[in-house]
């Protein structure tokens, strides 16, 4: 996939992850959803699902109630800049491994999404 696909707004995605990391250091950030599928060349005539699926993984989420993490991380998403709301998931590494098997959007983001921490794509670069 093109690293700087204009439809994905990677600079804003990186800024978003940095905003979350200011509160909880994020170890992995996976971006999936219909916009990423579009960038991968998915056919336009399909059930789109959420436009953005964001999976944040941090050991620092341990001890923080799940709903609190998701609410706070979701409140930092700039829907006007990104063109749609995000389906935000915030997990510890162990929770992520379980949810990856149980939840299709999380599995899809892990398998076909963008890893913002991949070489050359880390937030703040």
**Cα separation values, 52 from 33, 60, 63, 65, 92, Å:** 4, 23, 26, 23, 20
Q: Share the mean pLDDT of the chain.
A: 88
pLDDT in tens, 8-47: 899 999 999 999 999 999 999 999 998 998 888 877 767 7
Q: What span, in angstroms and rounded, lies between the C-alpha atoms of 111 and 65?
A: 26
pTM, rounded to two decimals: 0.87
pLDDT in tens, 41-51: 877 767 778 89
10-115, CATH topology level: GMP Synthetase; Chain A, domain 3 (3.30.300)
Over range 49-59, report the average pLDDT.
94
Residue appearing with tokens 């109630």? 65
- pLDDT of amino acid 5: 59
Q: Which H or E element spans position 108?
A: helix 104-112
Q: Which residues contact 83 (CB under 8 A, 6 or more apart)?
A: 35, 51
Going by pLDDT thresholds of 50, 70 and 90, the confidence category of residue 2 is very low
Q: Is the pLDDT of residue 119 over 50?
A: no
Q: Is the pLDDT of residue 125 over 70?
A: no
pLDDT in tens, 69-108: 999 999 999 999 999 999 999 999 999 999 999 999 999 9
């Amino acid at each position: 996939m093109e690293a700087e696909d204009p439809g994905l707004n990677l600079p804003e995605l990186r800024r978003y992850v940095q905003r979350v990391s200011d509160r909880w250091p994020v170890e992995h950030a996976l971006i999936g959803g219909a916009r990423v599928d579009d960038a991968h060349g998915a056919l336009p005539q399909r059930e789109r699902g959420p436009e953005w699926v964001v999976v944040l993984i941090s050991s620092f989420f341990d001890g923080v109630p799940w709903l609190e993490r998701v609410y706070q991380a979701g409140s930092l998403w700039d829907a006007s800049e990104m063109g749609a709301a995000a389906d935000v998931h915030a997990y510890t590494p162990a929770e992520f491994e379980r949810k990856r098997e149980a939840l299709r959007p999380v599995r899809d983001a892990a398998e076909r999404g963008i890893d913002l921490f991949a070489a050359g794509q880390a937030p703040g670069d």
